[in-house]
Amino acid sequence: MTELKCKLLVIGAGPGGYVTAIRAGQLGVDTIIVDMDALGGTCLNVGCIPSKALIHAAEEFHLAGHLSQGSPLGISVSEPSIDLRATMKWKGSIVKRLTGGVGALLSKAKVRVVPGRASFMDGKTVEVSHADGTTTIRAENIVIATGSRPVELPFLPFGGKVISSTEALALKKVPDTLAVIGAGYIGLELGMAYAKLGAKVTIIEAMDRILPTYDAKLTRPVLKRLKSLGITLHTGARAKDLSKDKTALVFETKDGKRAQVAADQVLVTVGRKPATDGWGREAVVLDMDGPFVKIDAHCQTSMSGIYAIGDVTGEPMLAHRAMAQGEMVAEIVAGHTRVWDKIAIPAVCFTDPEVLVAGLSPDEAKAAGYKTLVSEFPFTANGRAMTMEAEDGFIRIVAREDNHLVLGIQAVGKGVSELAASFGLALEMGARLEDIAGTIHAHPTQGEALQETALRALGQALHI
């Protein structure tokens, strides 16, 4: 048993945790980070990054197949095939590069990495158990960045055919049939990817539409694409069980009828829950906010000197939120004055087409008591979108009627995730419609549609 001391201990080396540690290290704070798994957490190992790799591979494969059936672009190719093991190996190499990079950054910032499972002994002491025994770490400040886990359905526990997103990102062959439970962004991203890879995909959603947390109009192009990809969607339906012979998923349709669909794999993506156990929470008695650890505007928990960031603290469970929180906490621990004052946390669904939201939706703005101007500009009127065969979708701006302050920007369309930067910047800088309208947007790009949306809100659209 060894004993260590530090000024800052970070539990969990996901995007929130490792960013906290790097920033703290940069600021000269003596920092230790603990994780029982690989550096990078869910995001780098079994989340954001590998899923984007798989989505890209699926898109490429699908495109090749599409072209093999004749293309108006004048390209002809023969029918493609895919070796999913090779795909996964390539995916693994990207993950390895990134997690290795995190390790290098941590060591450059002079952060000590202690692998193992951390558990609170008291508010200042954490015990880390690992293969070589235990390490006791005494820390002046502790950051809980334990993240989240996939939610399991009690009647369809993970194992065998029933898989979570983690396993779905490591399949050895493309299943002939795939049933996806849950039409949130994870289920749709993976469901669409496997459909493009050749699986016959069926999606079961309990609510009456896909992406229920996004406004319906924004999700319509995604719904259209689901159909064109041949994905079967059952909304208002409830998954029940595996069939007796374990070859199919049994579910109850909207009308209450029992039905079943053949499924080599059943992917359960019904959400993620905060990882609030397994690290000795009972030893420190923290106030909770529902299932989440309760935090204040400084990410401090109910116990002084203990902070919590990322998925364990609530929605939206997004890596970039955790990173921003982590940066702030590191600076607070280093003695700076900081407070959580962000205006927008953009969120992206890497579906086909992509969905991007930042700030308030039209309904949220109304609910907040604003009189609003809502303006949309379709990609059908955007030259660049036409040249990319990506005319589905639009950009929408929600602004205050009185002073034209932009409250929210949403988009759906191919590749719109890259517009998150300008959406976020506009909101964080407090742009008015006139500011976006008055900014030269490069031609020909999809981003021009943002300027046109603002112009349209002002009654001055040029290209529609």
DSSP 405: B
270 versus 406: smaller Cβ distance to other proteins: 406
Confirm or reject binding of residue 336 to other proteins (CB under 8 A): yes
Confirm or reject binding of residue 404 to other proteins (CB under 8 A): yes
Confirm or reject binding of residue 304 to other proteins (CB under 8 A): no
Kindly indicate which of the ranges 154-162, 169-177, 282-290, 397-405 contains the residues binding other proteins, using the contact rule CB under 8 A.
397-405
Confirm or reject binding of residue 434 to other proteins (CB under 8 A): yes
Confirm or reject binding of residue 405 to other proteins (CB under 8 A): yes
- Within a 13 Å sphere around the CA of 155, how many CA atoms are in the beta-carbon half? 10
Helical segments of 81-154, H only:
84-108
The shares of helix, strand and coil residues in the chain, as percent rounded to the nearest 5, are 35, 25, 40
Q: Which of 77, 429, 443, 462 binds other proteins (CB under 8 A)?
A: 429
DSSP letter for each residue of 178-206: EEEE--SHHHHHHHHHHHHTT-EEEEE-S
Catalytic one of 56, 66, 443, 463 = 443
Kindly indicate which of the ranges 102-110, 135-143, 431-439, 442-450 contains the residues binding other proteins, using the contact rule CB under 8 A.
431-439
Closest CA to 426 of 446, 447, 444: 447
List the Cα angle 301/310/266 in 5-degree steps: 130
Q: How far is the CB of 7 from other proteins (least distance, A)?
A: 21
Q: Which of 1, 81, 341, 442 binds other proteins (CB under 8 A)?
A: 341
Confirm or reject binding of residue 430 to other proteins (CB under 8 A): yes
130 is catalytic: no
Kindly indicate which of the ranges 134-142, 198-206, 218-226, 333-341 contains the residues binding other proteins, using the contact rule CB under 8 A.
333-341
Confirm or reject binding of residue 338 to other proteins (CB under 8 A): yes
Kindly indicate which of the ranges 24-32, 158-166, 202-210, 432-440 contains the residues binding other proteins, using the contact rule CB under 8 A.
432-440
Q: Which of 432, 439, 441, 458 binds other proteins (CB under 8 A)?
A: 432
What CA–CA distances, in Å, run from 113 to 33, 102, 298?
A: 5, 11, 25
Q: How far is the CB of 432 from other proteins (least distance, A)?
A: 5
Bridge partner residues of 359 (DSSP): 408
Confirm or reject binding of residue 421 to other proteins (CB under 8 A): no
154 versus 335: smaller Cβ distance to other proteins: 335
Q: How far apart are CA 27 and CA 29, in angstroms?
A: 6
Bridge partner residues of 274 (DSSP): 148
215 versus 434: smaller Cβ distance to other proteins: 434
- Tokens encoding 431: 């742009």
List, as own/partner pairs, every contact residues 222-227 make where C-beta atoms lie below 8 angstroms and the sequence separation is at least 24, other chains included: 222/188, 222/349, 222/351, 222/352, 222/353, 222/355, 222/412, 224/392, 225/192, 225/351, 225/352, 225/353, 225/392, 226/188, 226/192
The dihedral built from the CA positions of residue 139, 145, 150 and 154, taken in this order, carries a sign that is: positive
Q: Which of 403, 440, 442, 459 binds other proteins (CB under 8 A)?
A: 403
327 versus 392: smaller Cβ distance to other proteins: 327
85 versus 342: smaller Cβ distance to other proteins: 342
Burial of 258 (0-12, 13-18, 19+ CB in 10 A): exposed
């079994």: which residue's tokens? 46
Q: How far is the CB of 215 from other proteins (least distance, A)?
A: 23
Name the site residues for other proteins (rule: CB under 8 A).
336-339, 341, 400, 403-405, 428-430, 432, 434-435
Q: Which residues belong to the active site?
A: 443
